[in-house]
């Protein structure tokens, strides 16, 4: 018999998130971010969070909402150029920041989910990224040792899912979500459409339900565009 991971709503999905925890949040820019879960974290007012995410949203949306409320103590990211409040907090010393090459960030999350504690990569060698890290040479090229990333909670957003937690992501909204879904001790998936068991094509599933502990159907998605460019 299939195990149901479905919870009633976002409040139930976020139960157990506490001060000082490390959270992974899927998304790239504003594409594929767990909007409902972020809104609930803001409502809960939980402080001193370490957030692992490709970027920090924008000032008034996504992780930018948590930054506005000073709920994030540390950001582990690869790109943060669209958020003025992030920049202000970083330059003033209010926010601790660990910037990571984008490919390394993705692989560190994937490695965490796969149970691989560390790996070598040439990305970042000769820069501040490599400071304090072990260096080894492979095929005549220096590589730095990067450790895997895991989190107390991982929050991901999918297009479709079922009660067992099987997920399908839509196009580029897939981005960091599958890797982070694997790397959370508790993974919360919010979906645009929750379908009955057996309706998803097994060959189309991107994240098997074994990696998901809680799933709920979200609502009110805005699907903002980070930088809207149109013809004059």
Asked if the structure places residue 136 within a domain, the reply is no
pLDDT at residue 81 above 80?
Answer: no
Q: Which residues of 136-145 are buried (b: 16+ CB within 10 A; e: fewer)?
A: eeeeeeebbe
Asked if the structure places residue 141 within a domain, the reply is no
Q: How far apart are CA 55 and CA 102, in angstroms?
A: 10
Asked if the structure places residue 132 within a domain, the reply is no
Asked if the structure places residue 31 within a domain, the reply is yes
pTM of the predicted protein model: 0.94
Query: What does the pLDDT look like over 39-54, one tens digit per residue?
Result: 999 999 999 999 999 9
Mean pLDDT of 5-31: 96
Asked if the structure places residue 185 within a domain, the reply is yes
How many domains does the chain fold into? 1
> What's the pLDDT score for residue 227?
77
At residue 195, the 3 state secondary structure works out as strand
Identify the H or E element spanning 143: strand 141-147
Instruction: Give the distance, in angstroms, between the CA of residue 28 and the centroid of all CA atoms in the same chain.
Output: 9
User: Which residue in 40, 86, 37 sits closest to 59, CA to CA?
Assistant: 86
Asked if the structure places residue 167 within a domain, the reply is yes
Q: How far apart are CA 199 and CA 194, in angstroms?
A: 10
pLDDT at residue 93 above 80?
Answer: yes
Mean pLDDT of 69-96: 92
- 140: confidence class by pLDDT, cuts 50, 70, 90: very high
Asked if the structure places residue 229 within a domain, the reply is no
Q: Report residue 183: phi and psi, to 5°.
A: -105, 0
pLDDT at residue 223 above 90?
Answer: no
What is the chain's Cα-based Rg?
Answer: 18
Mean pLDDT of 188-200: 97
Q: What is the CATH number of the domain that holds 213?
A: 3.40.1080.10
> What's the pLDDT score for residue 226?
76
Taking residue 2's Cβ as centre, other Cβ atoms within 10 Å add up to 12
Asked if the structure places residue 225 within a domain, the reply is no
> What's the pLDDT score for residue 197?
95
Mean pLDDT of 85-107: 94
What's the domain range around 165? 10-117+149-217
> What's the pLDDT score for residue 2?
78
């Amino acid at each position: 018999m299939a195990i149901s991971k479905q919870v009633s709503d976002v409040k139930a999905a976020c139960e157990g998130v506490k001060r000082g925890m490390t959270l992974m949040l899927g998304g790239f820019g504003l594409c594929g971010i767990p909007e409902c879960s972020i809104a609930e974290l803001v409502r809960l007012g939980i402080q001193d969070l370490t957030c692992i995410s490709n970027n920090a949203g924008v000032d008034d949306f996504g992780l930018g909402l948590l930054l506005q409320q000073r709920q994030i103590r540390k950001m582990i990211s690869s790109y943060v150029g669209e958020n003025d409040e992030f920049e202000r907090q970083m330059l003033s010393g209010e926010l601790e920041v660990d910037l990571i090459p984008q490919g390394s960030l993705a692989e560190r999350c994937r490695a965490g989910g796969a149970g691989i504690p560390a790996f070598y990569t040439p990305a970042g060698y000769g820069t501040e990224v490599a400071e304090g890290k072990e260096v080894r040479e492979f095929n005549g090229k220096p590589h730095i040792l990067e450790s895997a990333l895991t989190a107390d909670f991982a929050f991901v957003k999918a297009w479709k899912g079922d009660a067992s937690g099987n997920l399908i992501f839509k196009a580029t909204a897939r981005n960091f979500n599958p890797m982070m879904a694997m790397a959370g001790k508790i993974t919360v998936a919010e979906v645009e459409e929750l379908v009955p068991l057996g309706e998803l094509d097994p060959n189309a599933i991107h994240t098997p339900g074994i990696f998901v502990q809680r799933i709920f159907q979200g609502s009110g998605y805005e699907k903002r565009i980070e930088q809207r460019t149109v013809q004059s």
